[in-house]
Amino acid sequence: MSSLSQRIKQVTPAPLWGAASSARYALQRAAQWPAATFHSQRRDSIRQLAALKDAHRGQRCFIIGNGPSLKQTDLTRLRHEFTFGMNRFYLAFPELGFTTTYFLSVNSLVIEQCAEDIRALPIPKFLSWRSRALIEPVTDLIFLHTTYTGPKFAQDVRGRLWEGATVTYVALQLAYHMGFDQVILIGVDHNFATQGRPNTTVVSQGDDPDHFHAGYFGKGFRWQLPDLETSERAYHMARQAFEADGRQVLDATVGGKLTVFEKVKYDRITG
């Protein structure tokens, strides 16, 4: 926020400032809507998403975060499970000897810096429509219309999805759309050693202490600091949506700090 905006905010009554901000964000979303709905690439993505609607009813999946706790998690147990890998989790593929079922990334900085790696992944890839200019399209690339504003939980991801300040929240909406009855989180540590103002873009100065791989956001990589408060708000919305439909989200992260979802032991559910 600019210094002028900060001064205006200080002298504006909070309810009025909030209403003005909501109106401005709504106008921004409205401006994005035509291309995100009618562009040929998005129309193709919408058709692919329609084919995935409730395709996994009665099944379970694992959404794999990228926290350091993955180093204490036997990921080989997931070889025959339905899985979502996010952002740079693909760095683990060579050691694992298999890929996740799906790949997801909505952060423009990640997509921009890792575009060629992402294009080469031999699995369905879900990316933010906002970042379409950063990557050359391929057959199995599906664009999602994700936004930073307008909190909601999308039960059908053919429309707009709120990002909730974390790619994991988008993965939860995807899993719901696909019909998974049970979703299990792992590697969602919800705890970062690197501190600073949420959403600030920083440049890594060395090995990455906040993810499972030292080179995940290694030296020179640009990334955004987490907004854990907004993420928790989003996770509560996800829990409510799943439970209202008789479905379940469980958290099997080893030592994770997230308290929104029921905790379970990873070894017990993957034995």
Question: For every residue of 82-133, which 3-state class applies, written as one string?
Answer: EEEEECCHHHHHHHHCCCCCEEEECCHHHHHHCHHHHHHCCCCEEEEHHHHH
Instruction: Write out pLDDT tens, residues 47-105.
Output: 999 999 999 999 999 999 999 999 999 999 999 999 999 999 999 999 999 999 999 99
Predicted pLDDT of residue 17: 40
Q: Give pLDDT tens digits for 250-269.
A: 999 999 999 999 999 999 99
What are the pLDDT tens digits along the chain (271 aa)? Answer: 555 556 655 656 666 545 544 566 567 766 677 678 868 999 999 999 999 999 999 999 999 999 999 999 999 999 999 999 999 999 999 999 999 999 999 999 999 999 999 999 999 999 999 999 999 999 999 999 999 999 999 999 999 999 999 999 999 999 999 999 999 999 999 999 999 999 999 999 999 999 999 999 999 999 999 999 999 999 999 999 999 999 999 999 999 999 999 999 999 999 7
Domains identified in the chain, total number: 1
Q: Give the pLDDT score at 35.
A: 77
- Residue 32: predicted pLDDT: 74
Q: Does 97 map to a domain?
A: yes
pLDDT of residue 264: 98
β-bridge mates for residue 105, sequence order: 127
Residue 24 domain flag: no
Q: What is the pLDDT of residue 4?
A: 56
- Establish if 15 belongs to a structural domain: no
> What pTM value is reported for the model?
0.91
Q: Decide if 85 is inside a domain.
A: yes
Residue 17 lies in a domain: no
Residue 158 lies in a domain: yes
**Sequence-distant (≥ 6) Cβ neighbours of residue 213 within 8 angstroms:** 66, 88, 91, 92
Q: In whole angstroms, what is the distance from residue 205 CA to residue 192 CA?
A: 16
CATH for 229: 3.90.1480
pLDDT at 212 (0 to 100): 97
Is 16 contained in some domain?
Answer: no
Q: 217 is in which domain, residue-wise?
A: 35-269
How far CA 240 is from CA of 64, 79, 115, 157, 235, in Å, comes to: 21, 29, 34, 17, 9
| Strand pairing report for 201-203 and 182-186 | unpaired
Q: Compute the distance between CA of residue 107 and CA of residue 196 in angstroms, rounded to an integer.
A: 18
211 in any annotated domain: yes
